Amino acid sequence: IFACTMRVRLEGLEHLPAEGGVILAVCHVSHLDPVVVSTLLPRRIGWVARIEFYSSWVARTFLHSGGAFPVNRQGAALPTVREGLRRLRRGEVVGIFPEGEIMRGEASVLRGGPVKRGAALLAARSGCPVVPVVVLGTDRLGNIGPWLPAKRGRLWLRVGPAMRPEPEGTAKISRAEFAGRLEAEFVRLFVEGQRDWGLPESIVP
pLDDT for 157: 97
Bridge-partner residues for 159, per DSSP?
133
Residue 167 has a pLDDT of 63
For helices 78-89 and 118-126, give the axis angle rounded to 10 degrees. Answer: 50
Predicted local confidence at residue 56, as pLDDT: 79
Per-residue model confidence (pLDDT) at position 76: 73
Q: Residue 170: what pLDDT?
A: 57
- Per-residue pLDDT at 15: 98
Mean pLDDT of successive 10-residue segments in the chain (205 residues)? 90 97 97 94 93 78 84 80 96 96 95 94 93 97 88 94 75 84 97 96 93
**CA–CA dist 114, 202 (Å, integer):** 20
Say which amino acid occupies 58.
V
- Strand positions, DSSP E, 126-171: 130-136, 153-159
pLDDT at 154: 94
pTM for the model: 0.92
